[in-house]
Amino acid sequence: MAAHLAVVVLAAGKGTRMRSTLPKVLHRLGGRTILEQVLHNLKGLAHQHCVVVVGYGADRVRAQIDRPDIAFVEQTEQLGTGHAVQQVMPLLMDFSGHVLVLNGDAPLIRPGTLERLVTTHVQSGAEATILTARLADPTGYGRVFLDSEGQVLQVIEHRDCTPEQRLNTLINAGIYCYRWERLAEVLPALKADNDQSELYLPDTLLQLANVAQVEVDDPTEVLGINDRLQLAEASRVLNTRTLERLMRAGVTIVDPASVTVDDTVEVEADVIIEPQTHLRGQTRIAAGCRIGPGTLIEDSLLDTEATVLYSVLHGARVGALSRIGPYAHLRSESVIGKGCRIGNFVEVKKASVGDGSAAAHLSYLGDATLGERVNIGAGTIIANYDGKHKHHTRLGDAVKTGANSVLVAPLSLGDGVNVAAGSTVTEDVSQGLVIARPRQVVKPEWRPSYESS
């Protein structure tokens, strides 16, 4: 491994073929933006500097990648990859060592492949080493031409290749490792002698005496993203890798073809993931949970042996042995304790539910704190909004609400309070039974007016 390594990520392009105002590198896959995934792939690779070259949407890219260990330089005119790296030269003026150059729109490269590239480069003593791959359809990629000893003779961009040269399937992956001192010597001499009038970084290879190459074992690693079709394909590849990693680690995925799991998600062993389940963002699933079928969980935490069936969770926490669903909705800041039951058509928002509590069906719990062993009867809702402000409700331990009750916030019910079915409770109750409904009246002799006539 190099004693001194700098990393340069090229992320200045607009991505016209994405048909979007969003910079291409900020489109998402696997729980991260494309650029964040590229930077994530640097994990384990010791480096002293990381510079991202930005251009289109530079302020948005900087705001998204808000990390103190990353420096940014701006390429105000997108005049090619060579021109982009030229913008980095002032930042690395006093640097001595090796430079790894990556494309910001190629998120599938594995960390181990980058380590192999850098290690091979340093140990070989080459002035430059490039990553290559053989593709069944190399359209759009620059072709790499080798001599009889496997050294790089030339890299020619696809658009500049002759029909015969395009038959070569060995492509330039757009990932390079240079001895920085030599690259800094030849960069200023680049010329735009091509049909795009751009400065191509591969042209520097013609000025170097010893250029090596490392061919990837898995060609999907080098797939770039230029349009929505390629974004979908990259997402599919990354999802397949994630599912394979989880299954090898002891997770059961009943139908991988119908399941998506972000690369950012953590799932422990002995979890069962049923069909049509999607896990996203910063979700963490503890051992023994059963998830799905038909479930979406995003940015949520599930403790051991929790069950979620046909439900949607966003920004929620679920305690051990709790059962969620079917058709429950846990919204942001919902905290469900241990051994709870949140059942059919129950919505929870910004509420804490104590251990052993249950809301089995047809309820809304918003902006509330529920104690332990609370039982919410069918049809109970917390009316937390007065048209302008949200108000809080507190239920003590062992509170029970009858069916079709309305708790009008702000409200506090003490430990053990029972709410009679059909009640609308508007005032605090410290103990006992509250009945807040009209008295039943029966008129056995009553008849409709049209019958009496």
155-172 pLDDT, tens digit each: 898 988 999 999 999 999
pLDDT of residue 452: 65
Please, which contacts does 336-343 make with residues 24 or more away whose CB atoms are closer than 8 Å? 337/372, 338/303
pLDDT of residue 140: 86
> What DSSP character marks residue 197?
-
Peptide bond into 326 cis (omega under 30): yes
7-23 pLDDT, tens digit each: 999 999 999 999 999 99
52-71 pLDDT, tens digit each: 999 999 999 999 998 999 99
229-238 pLDDT, tens digit each: 999 999 999 9
Residue 348 contacts residue 365 (beta carbons within 8 Å): yes
Tell me what the pLDDT averaged over the chain comes to. 95
Question: Which two three-digit tokens encode residue 351?
Answer: 């509420």
Residue 65 contacts residue 39 (beta carbons within 8 Å): yes
Using alpha carbons, select from 354, 334, 441, 443 the residue that is nearest to residue 396.
354
- Model confidence, pTM: 0.92
* Cβ contacts of 448 within 8 Å, gap of 6 or more: none
- Rounded average pLDDT over 226-253: 97
- For residue 63, CA distances in Å to 11, 60, 343 come to 14, 5, 40
pLDDT at 317 over 80: yes
- What domains does the chain contain, in order, with CATH numbers? 5-228 (3.90.550.10), 251-434 (2.160.10.10)
274-293 pLDDT, tens digit each: 999 999 999 999 999 999 99
pLDDT of residue 453: 58
The Cα 341–Cα 84 span in angstroms is 57
pLDDT of residue 2: 44
Residues with a known catalytic role: 361
- Rounded average pLDDT over 185-207: 88
Q: What SS3 state is found at 76?
A: coil
∠315-320-325 over CA atoms, to 5°?
60
pLDDT of residue 193: 79
Q: What SS3 state is found at 115?
A: helix
- Rounded average pLDDT over 117-125: 95
Say which residue, 3 or 186, is predicted with more confidence: 186
Using alpha carbons, select from 223, 226, 222 the residue that is nearest to residue 20.
226
pLDDT of residue 1: 47
Residue 99 contacts residue 5 (beta carbons within 8 Å): yes
pLDDT interval class at 79 (50, 70, 90): very high
337-365 pLDDT, tens digit each: 999 999 999 999 999 999 999 999 999 99
- For residue 64, CA distances in Å to 36, 52, 178, 356, 381 come to 9, 12, 28, 41, 39
The residues with which 29 forms a beta bridge, in sequence order, are 32
